[in-house]
A and B are shown apart, each in its own frame.
Chain A
Amino acid sequence: MSDTEVKDDRQYSKDHEWIKVEGDLVVVGITDFAQNSLHEITFVEISEVGTSLEANGECGLVESMKASSDIFSPVGGEIVEVNSELEDAPEIVNEDPYGKGWMFKLKPSNLDADLAGLMNAAAYKEFIESL
């Protein structure tokens, strides 16, 4: 898995989502490892803006040519923005999972507690190498 990119500036879940804190908001996406395993992403759907989520709550799905996978929000809060670019160009997630392929932003409700359950880059690297 040495060719899998993990960025130092964010936190990771065991479901292969990343989160990045930006001011009062949290940006959520899926990792390079996840997009690489899914391959050829054909469809992304995220719950509507305004939806309240618990940490690890199901909030959408990603379709690839082979399978469907649920997306979970690593932190709780309210969805304030969904990346609408992905509606017509879901392949952006394959091309740039940590940048333009972000999935949604939320206003966290319990950030400090939720962060405690996530991995930093080093721990996530170790986690995917153990798979």
Chain B
Amino acid sequence: MNDTLKRTHLYDWHAKHGDVIPFAGWEMPVRYTDIREEHMSVRNSVGLFDTSHMSRFLVKGQEAQMFLQTLTSNNVSTLKVNGGQYTICLNERGGTHDDLMLYRVAEDEYIWITNASNGPKIHNHLLKHSPNFEVDVIDKSREIVMIAVQGPKALHLINKITDRAISDYGRFSCYRLKLAGYDCYLCRTGYTGEDGVEILVLDTPFNDEGKQKAISFWEELLREGEEFGVKPCGLGSRDSTRLEAGLVLYGHELDEETSPIEARIPYAVKFKVEPHYIGYDVVKHHKKEGGIRKTRIGLVMIDRGIPREHYPVLFNNKVIGKVSSGGLSPILSKGIALAYVKPDSVIIGDTVEIDIKGRMRKAGVTKWPFYDPEVYGGSRTQ
């Protein structure tokens, strides 16, 4: 294996139990057994993901809030201590530098969690702007292990390893507590469409001791979750669950040339903020005056076939855009896709064609999530 690839604390466990592949500069497990089985464990019970390849920055100081508002599009002033928000870091053109989770863990202290592929870029971006503020940016990526526990049984599992009443902790909350004796931040967030948590295991330096600690905690979660049918899940099911939920992935639905308004994630973009963030004017123009160049839609196959990234999308025999992510939905047993098309070219219910390597296949324009939210996902009827 290429020795320039990075490994997480849990690498030895992954290599022993799963299929490890290169991903965004990391050696990560794509699957342990079967992507569909892992996918269904997240939809029906609970799955564990090692997400330690993501970058984690601690931002602290008197002007932390102002600094973060300069760099992110959600309203940082509404973020309370022990709260979290999904937000976007924009470039001057209103394109997306990265999408991220921001947690406020103390009065003047925030944790910024960013995509693995964008870690170095975002670190440089933070360091470039931080000298203008009373703020410190500390890279904690190698000192904190991150594990996502996702699915309708996720909170049941967590309840077994803490004496705190975690069901009182709302969505997007982030509390410091002991889980099975480990000092953690417990964040009620995720990337699968399901209810669940993302756990930051503190004091896990990247050495033998820290790695052993991470593996012990991971195995503890597997043991405690056994009664619910917990499964370790790889990047394959991480991608298939997020796609089925209609969640964006950087490098596919988001990039430096795509605004969050075009990506249809307006809830992460606020305008009554002070100071104005980088890219503010452009996204405001996109939002208020319809200056968008493209828009994101969901597609579900009517004909047989699996849509994939870059496949052209046609309507009335004219190319209107292309697929940004596609694959098989294990819930629907059909091909599904996210695509970018010209604004106002189609509406929900329209039938388009996808050019699958020269074969024209029908697909319906639909909303996301692709599953029935009454039956699957975090908002399902309990």
CB within 8 Å of B: which A58-102 residues: 58, 61, 63, 65-66, 68, 70, 87
Closest-by-CB residue of A relative to B38 is A65
Interface membership of A42, Cβ < 8 A = yes
Verify B357–A65 contact, CB threshold 8 A.
no
Given contacts A40-B35, A43-B304, A43-B305, A63 and B30 within 8 Å (CB-CB): no
In Å, the complex CA distance between A63 and B36 comes to 14
Complex partner residue of A45 from B30, B305, B327, B328, CB under 8 angstroms: B305
Given contacts A40-B36, A70-B357, A65 and B308 within 8 Å (CB-CB): no
Given contacts A43-B328, A45-B304, A61 and B357 within 8 Å (CB-CB): yes
Verify B304–A65 contact, CB threshold 8 A.
no
Verify A66–B306 contact, CB threshold 8 A.
no
| Chain A residues within an 8 Å CB radius of B328 | 42-43, 63, 65
Given contacts A42-B328, A43-B328, A61-B357, A68 and B34 within 8 Å (CB-CB): no
In Å, the complex CA distance between A80 and B218 comes to 53
| Chain B residues within an 8 Å CB radius of A66 | 30, 35, 236
Size class of the contact patch on chain A: 10 to 19
Closest approach, in angstroms, between the C-beta of A42 and any C-beta of chain B? 5
In Å, the complex CA distance between A45 and B327 comes to 15
Interface membership of A39, Cβ < 8 A = yes
Given contacts A40-B34, A40-B35, A40-B36, A65 and B240 within 8 Å (CB-CB): yes
CB within 8 Å of A: which B328-365 residues: 328, 335, 356-357, 359
| Chain B residues within an 8 Å CB radius of A45 | 304-305, 359
Verify B306–A39 contact, CB threshold 8 A.
no
Instruction: Mark contacts of B237-266 with chain A using CB atoms, 8 A cut-off: 1 yes-contact digit, 0 otherwise.
Output: 000100000000000000000000000000
Given contacts A42-B328, A43-B328, A70-B357, A63 and B35 within 8 Å (CB-CB): no
In Å, the complex CA distance between A66 and B29 comes to 13
Verify B305–A65 contact, CB threshold 8 A.
no
Verify A68–B306 contact, CB threshold 8 A.
yes
Closest-by-CB residue of B relative to A70 is B357
Closest approach, in angstroms, between the C-beta of A98 and any C-beta of chain B? 22
Closest-by-CB residue of B relative to A43 is B306
CB within 8 Å of A: which B350-382 residues: 356-357, 359
| Chain A residues within an 8 Å CB radius of B35 | 39-40, 65-66
| Chain B residues within an 8 Å CB radius of A65 | 35-36, 236, 240, 327-328
| Chain A residues within an 8 Å CB radius of B43 | none
Closest approach, in angstroms, between the C-beta of B152 and any C-beta of chain A? 22
Interface membership of B322, Cβ < 8 A = no
In Å, the complex CA distance between A61 and B304 comes to 12
Closest approach, in angstroms, between the C-beta of A12 and any C-beta of chain B? 24
Closest-by-CB residue of A relative to B307 is A68
Interface membership of B31, Cβ < 8 A = yes
Closest-by-CB residue of A relative to B240 is A65
Chain B interface residues (CB < 8 Å from chain A): 19, 30-31, 34-36, 236, 240, 304-306, 308, 327-328, 335, 356-357, 359
Q: Report 19 cross-chain contacts, Cβ distance below 8 Å, ordered by A residue.
A: A40-B34, A40-B35, A42-B306, A43-B304, A43-B306, A43-B328, A43-B335, A45-B304, A45-B359, A61-B356, A61-B357, A63-B306, A63-B328, A65-B35, A65-B36, A65-B236, A65-B240, A68-B306, A70-B357
List 7 additional contacts besides A58-B357, A68-B308; criterion CB under 8 Å: A39-B19, A40-B35, A61-B357, A65-B35, A65-B236, A65-B240, A65-B327
